[in-house]
Structure 1
């Protein structure tokens, strides 16, 4: 009888406490916002045209200039802009922004798995996913700052394109959801609940 009671206690100890409805809703919203951020960042990276200034359209992949009859002529040779270090700097910027999307996808996958497979390690998966989202924020922010530093002489607030603002919004969402995910995990940790009781 004692052995059965000990086994039952061990099974009960390994069982994960049931989440509150409010916590589940917040975790679902974080996952949804991360997914939206990934879509926005992907669109921004694929299009890549971020700044229109002085008759030129500067992008991560192309440089476009207005030719005759107001037709845009684009080239992948960024050296045509006559800006020192633009080719190398833009390669670095697009690499960081692209890598941010890849890292965010892995982070989103961990967040989703932690919710679908509720086991002992699900909170660790959630924390790891949130950390990857924060890493995406740092990479994305580095890419944006590199872009702005390279084109500091051309920056015009009205010249930023919609795809630039998509990346800006995605970067903000990566930060907000990464921090929120980590904070949520700390305040809902089972030990904290036991202390409150």
Structure 2
């Protein structure tokens, strides 16, 4: 009999262990933080204007300059910025951060489903959701890093816009919540009691 079959048989016999209030609270908090991260990252990607330096506004989708009457003149042709490799590099950057949002949405859905529809596979769904959130961190980090490398000659601490910091915070929260989700699932693994029982049985045999 496989381990999964033993686990399923043990659950049917003893019932699923009830979650403590603290565990439920932490899982709800993780889901809330992931949802906030998705919103922040979506805003950053849709706006796309991340860096303002030397009278130029660099974004994922547009390149803007300030005219004499202080009005922004934007163009989707990024080659006008006269930055080597900007057009191709920015395509990669915006693809990465956009894909990060999509992956995070699927991860968030798995996290919520695992809590709403609790069954024998709930913990596995939670783990899969947490892994997808970590994948979102990797994609968003790759996009942000690509953006910084392309525009390294224009970077200063005060040149970053609010939407850039939204993406930066979202990437940090993706990492924090992905790691926390996996760690929490490990700490509250429902089969730990079964392992303890099996180990005790082996000691008496």
TM-score (norm 2): 0.89
Q: Which runs of at least 4 in structure 1 moved beyond 6 Å after TM superposition?
A: none
Q: Map Cα deviations across residues 73-101 of structure 1 (whole Å, 9 max, x no partner).
A: 00000000111110000000000000000
Q: Which stretches in structure 2 are left out of the alignment for 5+ residues?
A: 1-8, 201-205
Contiguous gaps of at least 5 residues in structure 1? 1-7
Alignment of 1:47-196 (within 5 A): 47-193=47-193, 195=196
Secondary structure of 2:89's partner? helix
Pair 10,84 (structure 1): closer, same or farther in 2 beyond 3 Å: closer
Aligned to 1:5: none
**Deviation of 1:45 (Å):** 0.2
CA gap of 1:10–1:48, structure 2 versus 1, over 3 A, is closer
Contact 1:16 1:118 in 2 (8 A): no
Q: Deviations over 1:41-72 (max 9, x none)?
A: 00000000000001000000000001121111
Deviations 1:110-162 (A, max 9, x none): 00000001100000000000000000000000000000000000001101000
Task: Kindly indicate whether residue 59 of structure 2 is the aligned counterpart of residue 35 of structure 1.
Answer: no
* Cα separation, 2, equivalents of 1:193 and 1:51: 53
Cα distance in 2, alignment partners of residues 131 and 19 from structure 1 = 22
The CA distance in 1 between the partners of 2:70 and 2:157, in whole Å, is 22
CA-based RMSD of the aligned residues comes to 1.7
Whole-angstrom CA distance in 2 between matches of 1:10 and 1:173: 34
Q: 1:3 maps to what in 2?
A: none
Change in Cα spacing, 1:75 to 1:126, as seen in structure 2 (3 Å) is same
